Structure 1
Amino acid sequence: MIHLLCANIPLLAQTGTAEIAFLSDIHLQDVYADLGSNAFKGVFNPKTGRFATIRTMKSQLNSTRLFNENYFAFISALEDLKKKEIQIVVLPGDFTDDGQPMNVLALKEILDQYATDSGMRFFLTTGNHDPVKPFGGIAGKSDFLGVDGSEQAIAGSTDFFTASSVAISDQINYWGYPEITKALGDYGFFPSQKDLFWSHPFEELDYENYTFERAQDSSQLEKRVYPVGNSGLFLPDASYVVEPIEGIWLLALDGNVYTHSGGESKESWKGSSVGFNQASIFKKHQLDWIKKVADEAEKLGKTLISFSHYPLVEFHDGASDAMKSLFGPRKFQLERVPSAETSKLYADAGMRLHFAGHMHINDTGLYENQPDNTMYNIQVPSLAAFPPAYKTVKIDHQTQFEIETTTLTEVDHMNEFFDLYRMEHRWLLENQIPDIWDSTILASKDYFEYTRNHLLELTELRFIPSDWPENLVVLLKALNNNELNQWSKMTEKDGNLFLEDKLKELKTSSSSKTKSHKIIEDFYLLKNGDEIGKRLIPQERITFYEQLLSSVSRKTYAQDANLNSDLVQFFRIFEMLFESLPSDHFRIDLKKNTIERID
Structure 2
Amino acid sequence: MQLIGANTPLVAQGSAEIEIAFLSDIHLQDIYADLQSPDFNGILNPKTGKYATIRTMKSQLNSTRLFNENYFAFISALEDLREKGIQLVVLPGDFTDDGQPMNVLALQKILEHYSSKFGMRFFLTTGNHDTVKPYGGLAGKRDFLGTDGKEQAIAGDAKVFPALEVAQSDQINYWGYPEVTAALSNFGFFPDEKDLFWAHPFQELDYENYSFDQAMASANLEQRKFPLSDSGLFLPDASYVVEPIEGIWLLALDGNVFTHSGKDLKEGWKGSSVGFNQASISKKHQLDWIKKVAAEAEKRGKTLISFSHYPLVEFHDGASEEMKSLFGPRKFQLERVPTNETSELYATAGINIHFAGHMHINDTGVYQDQSTTHTMYNIQVPSLAAFPPAYKTAKISKKDNFEIETIPLTEVDHMNEFFDLYRMEHRWLLENQDPGIWDTTILASKNYLEYTRNHLLELTKSRFIPSDWPENLALLLQNMTESELRNWSQINEKEGEIYLSKIVNRLKSSSTQSGSNLSIIDDFYLLKNGDDLGKRLIPDNRLGFYKEIIPVIIQKTYSQEQIHSKELIQFFRIFDLLFHSQPADHFSIDLKKNTIKMIED
**TM bucket by the smaller chain?**
over 0.9
Which 5+ residue runs of structure 1 have no aligned equivalent?
none
In structure 2, C-alpha distance between the alignment counterparts of 1:379 and 1:469, rounded to whole Å: 28
Say if 1:5 and 1:85, in contact at 8 Å, map to a contact too. Answer: no
Partner of 2:403: 402
Aligned residue for 2:513, secondary structure, equals helix
Question: Does 1:479 pair with 2:511?
Answer: no
TM-score normalised according to structure 1 size: 0.99
Partner of 1:105: 105
Aligned residue for 2:149, secondary structure, equals coil
Aligned residue for 2:378, secondary structure, equals strand
Q: 1:473 to 1:543 in 2, by over 3 A?
A: same
Partner of 2:584: 583
5 Å matches for 1:457-496?
A: 457-496=458-497
Say if 2:58 and 2:436, in contact at 8 Å, map to a contact too. Answer: no
Cα distance per residue 1:522-559 (max 9 Å; x no partner): 00000000000000000000000011111012101224
Aligned residue for 1:148, secondary structure, equals helix
Q: 1:164 to 1:344 in 2, by over 3 A?
A: closer
Q: 1:515 Cα deviation (Å)? A: 3.1
Say if 1:125 and 1:253, in contact at 8 Å, map to a contact too. Answer: yes
Partner of 1:20: 20
Partner of 2:184: 184
Cα distance per residue 1:308-342 (max 9 Å; x no partner): 00000000000000000000000011000000000
In structure 1, C-alpha distance between the alignment counterparts of 2:405 and 2:374, rounded to whole Å: 24
5 Å matches for 1:359-370?
A: 359-369=359-369, 370=371
5 Å matches for 1:1-80?
A: 2-12=1-11, 15-80=15-80
* Aligned amino acid, residue 184 of structure 1: L
* Aligned amino acid, residue 293 of structure 2: V
In structure 1, C-alpha distance between the alignment counterparts of 2:93 and 2:226, rounded to whole Å: 21
Partner of 1:331: 331
Partner of 2:415: 414
Question: Does 1:298 pair with 2:298?
Answer: yes
Q: 1:6 Cα deviation (Å)? A: 2.8
Partner of 1:540: 541
Aligned length: 598
Q: 1:158 Cα deviation (Å)? A: 1.5
* Aligned amino acid, residue 474 of structure 1: L
Say if 1:585 and 1:598, in contact at 8 Å, map to a contact too. Answer: yes
Partner of 2:132: 132
In structure 2, C-alpha distance between the alignment counterparts of 1:168 and 1:486, rounded to whole Å: 62
In structure 2, C-alpha distance between the alignment counterparts of 1:164 and 1:501, rounded to whole Å: 50
In structure 2, C-alpha distance between the alignment counterparts of 1:440 and 1:553, rounded to whole Å: 36
Q: Which moved more, 1:558-567 or 1:332-341?
A: 558-567
Partner of 1:358: 358
5 Å matches for 1:239-250?
A: 239-250=239-250
5 Å matches for 1:72-91?
A: 72-91=72-91
Question: Does 1:198 pair with 2:230?
Answer: no
5 Å matches for 1:520-539?
A: 520-539=521-540
* Aligned amino acid, residue 41 of structure 2: K
Say if 1:21 and 1:88, in contact at 8 Å, map to a contact too. Answer: yes
Partner of 1:266: 266
Say if 1:7 and 1:121, in contact at 8 Å, map to a contact too. Answer: no
* Aligned amino acid, residue 558 of structure 1: S
Q: 1:561 Cα deviation (Å)? A: 6.1
Q: 1:165 Cα deviation (Å)? A: 1.6
In structure 2, C-alpha distance between the alignment counterparts of 1:501 and 1:553, rounded to whole Å: 22
Partner of 1:437: 438
Partner of 1:233: 233
Partner of 2:217: 217
Q: 1:18 to 1:514 in 2, by over 3 A?
A: closer
Partner of 1:565: 566
Q: 1:268 to 1:408 in 2, by over 3 A?
A: same
Aligned residue for 2:106, secondary structure, equals helix
In structure 2, C-alpha distance between the alignment counterparts of 1:299 and 1:489, rounded to whole Å: 59
Q: Which moved more, 1:333-342 or 1:482-491?
A: 482-491
Cα distance per residue 1:224-256 (max 9 Å; x no partner): 000000011000000000000000000000000
* Aligned amino acid, residue 4 of structure 1: L
* Aligned amino acid, residue 491 of structure 2: M
Supply the RMSD in Å over aligned alpha carbons.
1.1
Q: 1:12 to 1:94 in 2, by over 3 A?
A: farther
Aligned residue for 1:245, secondary structure, equals coil
Say if 1:64 and 1:385, in contact at 8 Å, map to a contact too. Answer: yes
Q: 1:3 Cα deviation (Å)? A: 3.8
In structure 2, C-alpha distance between the alignment counterparts of 1:597 and 1:539, rounded to whole Å: 20
Question: Does 1:156 pair with 2:150?
Answer: no
In structure 2, C-alpha distance between the alignment counterparts of 1:435 and 1:137, rounded to whole Å: 30
* Aligned amino acid, residue 377 of structure 1: N
Q: 1:53 to 1:498 in 2, by over 3 A?
A: same
Partner of 1:169: 169
Q: 1:514 Cα deviation (Å)? A: 4.3
Cα distance per residue 1:275-299 (max 9 Å; x no partner): 0000000000000000110011000
* Aligned amino acid, residue 598 of structure 1: I
Say if 1:6 and 1:87, in contact at 8 Å, map to a contact too. Answer: no
In structure 1, C-alpha distance between the alignment counterparts of 2:320 and 2:164, rounded to whole Å: 45
Say if 1:12 and 1:246, in contact at 8 Å, map to a contact too. Answer: no
Q: 1:409 Cα deviation (Å)? A: 0.9
Q: 1:164 Cα deviation (Å)? A: 4.4
In structure 1, C-alpha distance between the alignment counterparts of 2:293 and 2:388, rounded to whole Å: 33
Aligned residue for 2:73, secondary structure, equals helix
Q: 1:265 to 1:592 in 2, by over 3 A?
A: closer
Q: 1:162 Cα deviation (Å)? A: 1.3
Q: 1:261 Cα deviation (Å)? A: 1.0
Q: 1:269 Cα deviation (Å)? A: 0.5
Q: What is the aligned-residue identity percentage?
A: 71
Aligned residue for 2:538, secondary structure, equals coil
Aligned residue for 1:159, secondary structure, equals helix
Say if 1:257 and 1:282, in contact at 8 Å, map to a contact too. Answer: yes
Aligned residue for 2:358, secondary structure, equals coil
Aligned residue for 2:569, secondary structure, equals helix
Q: 1:486 Cα deviation (Å)? A: 0.8
Aligned residue for 1:343, secondary structure, equals helix
* Aligned amino acid, residue 77 of structure 1: A
Partner of 2:454: 453
Say if 2:364 and 2:377, in contact at 8 Å, map to a contact too. Answer: yes
Say if 2:10 and 2:398, in contact at 8 Å, map to a contact too. Answer: no
In structure 2, C-alpha distance between the alignment counterparts of 1:45 and 1:430, rounded to whole Å: 21
Question: Does 1:92 pair with 2:68?
Answer: no
5 Å matches for 1:482-521?
A: 482-512=483-513, 514-521=515-522
Q: Which moved more, 1:25-34 or 1:2-11?
A: 2-11
Partner of 2:144: 144
Cα distance per residue 1:199-248 (max 9 Å; x no partner): 01000111011111111111100000000000110000000000000000
Say if 1:399 and 1:589, in contact at 8 Å, map to a contact too. Answer: yes
Q: Which moved more, 1:502-511 or 1:83-92?
A: 502-511
Cα distance per residue 1:563-592 (max 9 Å; x no partner): 100000000000000000000000000111
Partner of 1:312: 312
Say if 2:91 and 2:125, in contact at 8 Å, map to a contact too. Answer: yes
Which 5+ residue runs of structure 2 have no aligned equivalent?
none
In structure 2, C-alpha distance between the alignment counterparts of 1:558 and 1:295, rounded to whole Å: 51
Cα distance per residue 1:480-505 (max 9 Å; x no partner): 00100111111111111111111000
Q: 1:473 to 1:164 in 2, by over 3 A?
A: closer
Q: 1:16 Cα deviation (Å)? A: 4.0
Say if 1:7 and 1:87, in contact at 8 Å, map to a contact too. Answer: no
Say if 2:477 and 2:518, in contact at 8 Å, map to a contact too. Answer: yes
Q: 1:226 to 1:213 in 2, by over 3 A?
A: same
